[in-house]
């Protein structure tokens, strides 16, 4: 038997002996230690709460998604309305170039600033007619 | 009428089945912990050198295991429990290393004082203690001393592989390292132990 084979055959013997010694030391614990181990186990088991199945996750996820969509729609909607009804600077400029006058033009701040001039002009026109 | 009876009976039977499952699982957990607690205590005691600390560590490991892994299949419980315990032992080892560093600093500062000396009051980890008195034989004492002298990872590799009987892959999973590391730790542990126990063979 060479050295390596001897090593292989010897190894289980002392390991078995070590396991036996460890088993004995675990088996022959004193009563106080066993009592404390028992208490530790009971404490751990007292905290045992089986986790309920998370059936609420799907409805909660759907509700969250719906809220997010609603919020996104609400935020996006006013911009679209403003784009539809608002007068763009381009369209105002085009109207001014073409000389069109409408209610919007009459209601402009410049009209009110020159209101006295328009009143005088109106009086002059009436005087000329009369 | 039959469908109504069925709808009334179903929640009750579901509840009863669930209660049964809970109590069965709790019984199985109790049985499992009862089976591993003594060996776990020995492992913890070899790692930290104190019975009280070992009991605290085992209780911590039990609580964490029950809280986090009780829903796992029973076949996985042993590796998972030892994984939790191994983490606790690593944490303890780390804390003790940091504490000993601070104590060393403290000791240097109060070297000339005759005041209370924490080192002198600290528990002697080389003291045989009750466990070795239980083991009784010279071989038991020698094995305990040799195991305590091993580094934590080598001791864990030896105990998990040889005493608990886990295979290399499971031991690696428990110790959260590679299989190669387990083999290295185990080989070094076996060499050191064989050398230490040569006189007692």
Q: Own/partner pairs for B195-199, CB < 8 Å, 24+ apart? A: B196/B142, B196/B145, B196/B146, B196/B149, B197/A14, B197/A18, B197/B139, B197/B142, B197/B143, B197/B146, B199/B142
Residue B55: name the closest of A20, A19, A29, A24 by CA.
A29
Tell whether the model's pLDDT for residue A45 goes beyond 60. yes
Q: Look at A11 and B194 and tell me if their CB atoms are within 8 Å.
A: yes
Inter-chain contacts counted by CB atoms under 8 A, chains A and B: 96
Q: Look at A18 and B143 and tell me if their CB atoms are within 8 Å.
A: yes
**Domains of chain B and CATH, by start:** 15-29+36-110 (no CATH), 135-201 (1.10.10.10)
Q: Look at A15 and B144 and tell me if their CB atoms are within 8 Å.
A: no
Chain B stretch 104-163, residues whose beta carbon is closer than 8 A to a beta carbon of chain A = 130-131, 134-135, 137, 139-140, 143-144, 159, 162-163
Q: Binning pLDDT at 50, 70 and 90, where does residue B134 land?
A: very low
A83-90: average pLDDT: 50
Q: Binning pLDDT at 50, 70 and 90, where does residue B128 land?
A: very low
Residue to mutate among B57, B72, B81, B162, with most A CBs inside 10 A, is: B162
Residues of A within 8 A of B139 (CB-CB) are 17, 21
Give the C-alpha separation, A71 to A73, whole Å: 5
Of A27, A40, A51, which has the smallest distance from its Cβ to B58's Cβ? Answer: A40
pLDDT by residue (tens digit) across B68-91? Answer: 998 889 889 999 999 999 999 999
Residues of A within 8 A of B144 (CB-CB) are 25
**Least Cα separation, residue B12 to chain A (angstroms):** 17
Give the C-alpha separation, B38 to B55, whole Å: 10
Give the C-alpha separation, B192 to B24, whole Å: 44
pLDDT by residue (tens digit) across A5-43? Answer: 454 444 567 888 888 889 988 998 899 999 999 999 999
Tell whether the model's pLDDT for residue A115 goes beyond 90. no
Q: Look at A48 and B65 and tell me if their CB atoms are within 8 Å.
A: no
Four-residue CA torsion sign, B110, B112, B114, B119: positive
Q: Binning pLDDT at 50, 70 and 90, where does residue B127 land?
A: very low
When comparing pLDDT for A60 and B123, which is higher? A60
When comparing pLDDT for B18 and B8, which is higher? B18
Tell whether the model's pLDDT for residue B197 goes beyond 60. yes
- pLDDT score recorded for residue B117: 57
Q: Look at A21 and B135 and tell me if their CB atoms are within 8 Å.
A: yes
């Amino acid at each position: 038997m060479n050295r390596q084979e001897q090593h292989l055959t010897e190894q289980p013997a002392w390991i078995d002996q070590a396991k036996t010694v460890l088993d004995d030391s675990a088996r022959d614990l004193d009563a106080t230690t066993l009592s404390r181990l028992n208490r530790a186990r009971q404490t751990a088991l007292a905290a045992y709460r089986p986790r309920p199945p998370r059936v609420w996750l799907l409805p909660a996820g759907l509700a969250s998604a719906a809220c997010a969509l609603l919020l996104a729609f609400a935020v996006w909607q006013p911009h679209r309305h403003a784009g539809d009804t608002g007068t763009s600077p381009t369209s105002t400029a085009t109207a001014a170039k073409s000389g069109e006058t409408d209610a919007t033009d009459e209601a402009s701040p410049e009209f009110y600033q020159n209101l006295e001039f328009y009143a005088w002009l109106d009086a002059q026109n009436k005087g000329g007619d009369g | 009428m039959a469908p109504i009876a069925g709808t009334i009976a179903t929640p009750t039977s579901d509840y009863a089945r669930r209660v049964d499952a809970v109590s069965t699982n709790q019984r199985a957990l109790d049985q499992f912990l009862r089976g591993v607690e003594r060996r776990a205590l020995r492992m913890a005691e070899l790692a930290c050198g104190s019975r009280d600390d070992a009991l605290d560590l085992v209780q911590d490991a039990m609580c964490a295991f029950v809280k986090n892994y009780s829903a796992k299949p029973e076949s996985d419980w042993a590796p998972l429990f030892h994984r939790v315990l191994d983490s606790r032992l690593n944490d303890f080892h780390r804390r003790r290393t940091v504490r000993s560093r601070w104590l060393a600093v403290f000791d240097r500062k109060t070297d000339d004082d005759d005041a209370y000396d924490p080192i002198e009051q600290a528990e002697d980890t080389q003291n045989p203690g009750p466990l070795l008195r239980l083991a009784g034989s010279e071989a038991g004492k020698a094995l305990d001393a040799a195991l305590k002298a091993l580094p934590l990872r080598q001791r864990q590799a030896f105990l998990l592989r040889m005493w608990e009987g886990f295979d290399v892959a499971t031991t690696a999973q428990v110790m959260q390292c590679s299989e190669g590391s387990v083999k290295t730790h185990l080989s070094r542990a076996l060499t050191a132990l064989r050398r230490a126990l040569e006189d007692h063979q």
